[in-house]
Structure 1
Amino acid sequence: MSYIQKPSSPAVPVIGLFAPCDPRIDDPSRERALNIAAMTGRILKTIRLPGGERPGIYVAERTVERESDADAVAYDFKKHGVTVLAIVPDTWFYPGKTAMALTAHFRDAPLCCIAGNNAPKPGVVGVDAVVGAYAQTGRLCHAVIGTMPEIGQDPEFDAKSKAEIVDLVWAMTAAAWLRGKRLLCADTDSMQMETALNHVHASRKFLGVETVRESMKLFADMIHKGGGYDPKELKELYKWTVDVQWKGRIYPDIEAICAAKSPIYTAPHLVKPKPLTAGHKAKLEEELKLYLILRDYMKATNAVGGGWTSQLAWGSDRNGTPMACADIAEALFNSTFDHRGRKAAIPFATENDVQGLLTMACQSALTGGEPVLFADYRKVYEPWEIQKKADELGIALDPQSAYMLRGTIDMDNSGSGSLDWCDQSILFEVYKHYFPGGGFSTGYISPGGIECQAGRLAYSDLTGTFTMIQGEAESVELPQPIAEAFAHASSYSWPHTWITFKHVPASITKYGCPANHMHMVRNLPTRRWQYFSDYTNILNFQWEGTQKFTEGVDRMEPMLYRISGGETLAKLRLAGK
């Protein structure tokens, strides 16, 4: 047995690949089968996990031809911590004596079958046999039947096949990686929306995710006592905040800016920031303390994400003592840099929206830690409304632009807007009527042309499952006067990203967001999500008027669903409904 890639830490899964074979084949065929398994393993080195981690990739050095081989490889896989399984046949094999005998040792491991569509000693026949057998037992086994040379000892999959293999095994690896991971959730969801509830048991059942449910009093006490952070680092963070990251771009008195409708985003030279008072500086420092305290607390509990509520008890309920909001902390967690330089983006949900946080954790796992944009689904602008504003301002629009064809959505939120979704950001003092505890929020307008998946998980008591509502989308760049007008129509000082779905008009999407927040991530292929949703038993909603399947974009429906009434019925049965 040998590693193609050793796991970067004990916290990541190990992918095990093996080649089941017909015991009647010749030695050159065995050699080719083992070479294909190793070649497939090398393809998987593309997979990345959050925090710069990489999974282990371990390939069996013997073919699996009978039960004794299956046991020997299974025991070795267990010894090396294998938790994800890939069956890689190049010849016919007896499923019950080989693949199924081996995988019986790993009842809960994500499982797939990968082969070339080859005629000699056809492994594809074995794929059909074993996938069908697993399906009849109720076990999910996705398959990729790709293209490679049918002869030769060292064939390679073509580029199209490699991409599909990576999406499949990345999804399996992400599902395995999430198991046992932990999220910090501070008190209740701050908007009492119910859609943000922490579904503890469902999160465990489908994703294997745990939550650290901690009271905000603990963190308030740390701030008041001056504990839980390094005072020297606080000074460094404060200096970086005012002299580097937001130098010359910290604006107090947001109410005056909004009253004057000042174009800070597109013409900041027209409005010079007022100096910060001692009170402003104290609140800014309080806010930065919270970032350091939460960062170190999450590290101490091995949390891979978190949620915080700046409203109600923490920052807006005057029955208590309102504290500075957490907006800067939330933005920095979701970004790939801070005062220390480059760092991993950590999914962090404003308003302690735990369903949103679960969405972000999944998106992060499936993209190797891409920074996820958390935002309110604030306002839909249909093409007629954009045209109306353009006419008011005397601006000509391109009728073929994405926002004029399908409209756009103002994704706008005070807290968790990742700084990786803008070219330059601004700090604004918070709205005092909204956050009487004070502090500062990040604000920006995202550039156009950012391609992403935009969506959100939602839980249903009726089905006992999570459902994902999402679609391929892109950010759009509105003409500057329209961008300023639309930003001022909303919460001006918060991050604004105008998102247009590629296949769904904005007039339809306004009915489809299952909560007040939506989450966007780059570099997540649709089928990678679909594979992941199968291994975590998450339902997928199909938008009105969209095509159900596009080859090369969507994953092929697995045999388990084909013989069990389709995806929805099969998943409901698997969920126990």
Structure 2
Amino acid sequence: MARIGVINISDGRDYVHDGIAQFILDNEDKLVAALTVAGHEVVRGRAPVSTNTLATSVAREVAAQDVDLTILHYCVWAFPHFTMLAAGATTSPLVLLANTDPVQPGMVGMLAGGGALDQIGRRHNRLWGDPDSAEVIAQIGTLAKAAGAVSALRGSTFGRIGGRPMGMNTAVANTDQWQRIFGVDVEEIDQWEIVRRAELADAGEKAKGREWFERHATVHYDGKNLTPEKLELQIGSYLAMRELIDEWNLDFTGIKGQPELTQYFATMDIAEALLNDPYDWNGPKEPMVCATEADMDGALTMQIMKHLSGTPVLFADVRHYHGDRDIWDLCNSGQHATWYAARSDDPAENLAKVNLYPEVFFFPAGGASVQHIAAPGQMTLGRLTRNDGKYRLQLMLGEFETYDDETTQALMKMSTPEWPHAWARLDAPGELFLSKFGANHIHAIPGDHRAELRAVCELLDITLDEFAR
């Protein structure tokens, strides 16, 4: 969850403030307790703001705690310039929260302060209700999660391994634009580092990884495109990426892969799937976003989604639209994290549904593709795309579905059965999606996270392009 600052704004007249100070603190206690129960870390201002000097000093103290979101809390009438001074002393997103007590005019104070912020163009959100209202706390939580995701981007580093893949312009972003909008730096690393390090990787670790897959998944060796040696080379590629991440302090990554590695070395399917998974053969770990085809906007979308959901993020091509069923085949080599096979934190449960197949003719260097069918459930799908150079988030709700074995096999054989598939029913007409969606790649997380992503767009000042029926 997020770190939230709470600052109470009061009346500037001593004789008034003295009579309402305890009322303010009682309401603050309710708000802080409710936020804490909801899982947030709360940083309280040391005193209600009743003077201009307190407005600045209290806000600076709260801001110094690196909060993701600051709540200016109005239980009573509050001098509007205190809002302006406090807002000027913090750079985090602001929420103005007013109670609805009929005796104390907190709502009036919020409107006066909010109007003043409007005049100078300072963005903020406004909420109202009892400080321990479940609805209010949920609304704050949505804004706080969005603010936390945006805050986590700033100062982070994306590692791009290789350049533009196969002429794919949608996979390449402007690094200056990334710094300006998202606060993200880009470290360029040559793919030769994967080749060099994979071959030097610890032989014992490569063997452990291979045995882990053989023990829990179904490995279809064919003696040519997929051999134990080739699988260990792919596992070595994963170990190489872990080294690069540690050495360069990378926060999220993308690997070009095609065509050089997939023609002459090995596919990156194992490395990409394992990086996105919350585990490997050594136990649980933090999922590390890795986008195939070095897709920068894809990786950025995934990083935001990961911060919001706390789960691995699915990366896929929009491979095919089955118009007769109104479902989409979301499929892309081995990029799908194995977590999506069963959505379990137990890797054995997921890998029991995973096949490692010899790669197909697209990738003559061989290696294993990581094949499974994504487990069913509600999903939030979307992607950051650019229209005339300006960022937008294209967003929709959907459902992943599963079918009987006969239907599943028939659907897979229509495209590439050796690759992972997610059968998606989108809350958007096929004609709208195909006419408007700005890339061939799409990303998804479990549950309905549209409210948080709408808030992310507002915080980043980018366009929201939401699809619905």
- Give the TM-score normalised by structure 2: 0.91
> Are 1:63 and 2:41 matched, yes or no?
no
Q: Distance in 2 between matches of 1:465 and 1:46?
A: 39
The equivalent of 1:442 in structure 2 is 370
> Are 1:307 and 2:284 matched, yes or no?
no
**Equivalences for residues 35-54 of structure 1 within 5 A:** 35-45=26-36
Q: Secondary structure at the match of 1:333?
A: helix
The equivalent of 1:77 in structure 2 is 62
Match of 1:192 among 157, 167, 171: 167
The 3 A distance-change label for structure 1 pair 214 and 135 is same
Q: Do the aligned residues in 1 keep the contact of 2:225 with 2:366 (CA within 8 Å)? A: no
Q: Distance in 1 between matches of 2:73 and 2:334?
A: 46
The equivalent of 1:477 in structure 2 is 402
Q: Do the aligned residues in 1 keep the contact of 2:226 with 2:357 (CA within 8 Å)? A: no
Q: CA RMSD in A?
A: 2.3
Q: Partner letter of residue 220 of structure 2?
A: Y
Q: Do the aligned residues in 2 keep the contact of 1:223 with 1:286 (CA within 8 Å)? A: yes
Q: Secondary structure at the match of 1:520?
A: strand
Match of 2:314 among 348, 365, 373: 373
Q: Distance in 2 between matches of 1:42 and 1:436?
A: 59
Per the TM alignment, residue 332 of structure 1 is displaced from its structure 2 partner at its CA by 1.2
> Are 1:118 and 2:101 matched, yes or no?
yes
Q: Distance in 1 between matches of 2:405 and 2:429?
A: 23
Per the TM alignment, residue 459 of structure 1 is displaced from its structure 2 partner at its CA by 1.9
Per the TM alignment, residue 115 of structure 1 is displaced from its structure 2 partner at its CA by 2.6
Q: Secondary structure at the match of 2:304?
A: helix
Per the TM alignment, residue 117 of structure 1 is displaced from its structure 2 partner at its CA by 2.6
Match of 2:383 among 450, 456, 470: 456
The equivalent of 2:153 in structure 1 is 178
The 3 A distance-change label for structure 1 pair 242 and 334 is same
The 3 A distance-change label for structure 1 pair 19 and 375 is same
Per the TM alignment, residue 36 of structure 1 is displaced from its structure 2 partner at its CA by 3.2
Per the TM alignment, residue 497 of structure 1 is displaced from its structure 2 partner at its CA by 0.5
Match of 1:415 among 334, 340, 347: 334
Q: Distance in 2 between matches of 1:127 and 1:378?
A: 50
Q: Secondary structure at the match of 1:311?
A: coil
The equivalent of 2:302 in structure 1 is 360
Per the TM alignment, residue 99 of structure 1 is displaced from its structure 2 partner at its CA by 1.9
Q: Distance in 2 between matches of 1:376 and 1:311?
A: 15
The equivalent of 2:349 in structure 1 is none
Per the TM alignment, residue 45 of structure 1 is displaced from its structure 2 partner at its CA by 4.4
The 3 A distance-change label for structure 1 pair 47 and 174 is farther
Q: Do the aligned residues in 2 keep the contact of 1:180 with 1:209 (CA within 8 Å)? A: yes
Q: Aligned pairs, how many? A: 457
The equivalent of 1:258 in structure 2 is none
Q: Do the aligned residues in 1 keep the contact of 2:226 with 2:359 (CA within 8 Å)? A: no
Q: Distance in 2 between matches of 1:347 and 1:32?
A: 47
Q: Do the aligned residues in 2 keep the contact of 1:468 with 1:541 (CA within 8 Å)? A: yes
Q: Secondary structure at the match of 1:491?
A: coil
**Equivalences for residues 340-351 of structure 1 within 5 A:** 340-351=282-293
Q: Partner letter of residue 519 of structure 1?
A: H
Q: Distance in 1 between matches of 2:367 and 2:50?
A: 66
Q: Do the aligned residues in 2 keep the contact of 1:198 with 1:354 (CA within 8 Å)? A: yes
The 3 A distance-change label for structure 1 pair 346 and 44 is farther
Per the TM alignment, residue 62 of structure 1 is displaced from its structure 2 partner at its CA by 0.3
Q: Distance in 2 between matches of 1:506 and 1:360?
A: 23
**Equivalences for residues 115-514 of structure 1 within 5 A:** 115-146=98-129, 148=130, 156-224=131-199, 226=200, 229-243=201-215, 245-246=216-217, 249-253=218-222, 280-316=227-263, 322-367=264-309, 369-382=310-323, 385-386=324-325, 407-423=326-342, 424-431=353-360, 433-448=361-376, 450-460=377-387, 462=388, 464-502=389-427, 504-514=428-438
The 3 A distance-change label for structure 1 pair 525 and 78 is closer
Q: Secondary structure at the match of 1:314?
A: helix
| 1:158-181 per-position Cα deviation (integer Å, ceiling 9, x unaligned) | 222221110012211221121101
The equivalent of 1:536 in structure 2 is 460
Gaps of 5+ in 2: 343-352
Q: Secondary structure at the match of 1:366?
A: helix
The equivalent of 2:78 in structure 1 is 93
| 1:520-562 per-position Cα deviation (integer Å, ceiling 9, x unaligned) | 012453211111111111211143x65xxxxxxxxxxxxxxxx
Q: Distance in 2 between matches of 1:173 and 1:422?
A: 28
Q: Partner letter of residue 19 of structure 1?
A: N
Q: Distance in 2 between matches of 1:301 and 1:509?
A: 38
Q: Do the aligned residues in 2 keep the contact of 1:380 with 1:510 (CA within 8 Å)? A: no
Q: Partner letter of residue 155 of structure 2?
A: G
Q: Distance in 1 between matches of 2:71 and 2:319?
A: 43
Per the TM alignment, residue 374 of structure 1 is displaced from its structure 2 partner at its CA by 0.4
Higher helix share: 2
- Identical aligned residues as a percent: 25
Structure 1 moving runs of 4+ over 6 Å: none
Per the TM alignment, residue 28 of structure 1 is displaced from its structure 2 partner at its CA by 6.2
- Give the TM-score normalised by structure 1: 0.75
Q: Partner letter of residue 70 of structure 1?
A: A
> Are 1:525 and 2:452 matched, yes or no?
no
Per the TM alignment, residue 298 of structure 1 is displaced from its structure 2 partner at its CA by 0.9
The equivalent of 2:350 in structure 1 is none
Moved more, 83-92 or 483-492: 83-92
Q: Secondary structure at the match of 2:412?
A: helix
The 3 A distance-change label for structure 1 pair 167 and 28 is farther
The equivalent of 1:102 in structure 2 is 86
Q: Partner letter of residue 485 of structure 1?
A: A
Moved more, 197-206 or 372-381: 197-206
The 3 A distance-change label for structure 1 pair 331 and 80 is same
Q: Secondary structure at the match of 1:453?
A: strand
Q: Do the aligned residues in 2 keep the contact of 1:469 with 1:512 (CA within 8 Å)? A: no
The 3 A distance-change label for structure 1 pair 37 and 509 is same
Q: Do the aligned residues in 1 keep the contact of 2:321 with 2:328 (CA within 8 Å)? A: yes
Per the TM alignment, residue 109 of structure 1 is displaced from its structure 2 partner at its CA by 2.3
Q: Secondary structure at the match of 1:114?
A: strand
Q: Distance in 2 between matches of 1:130 and 1:304?
A: 38
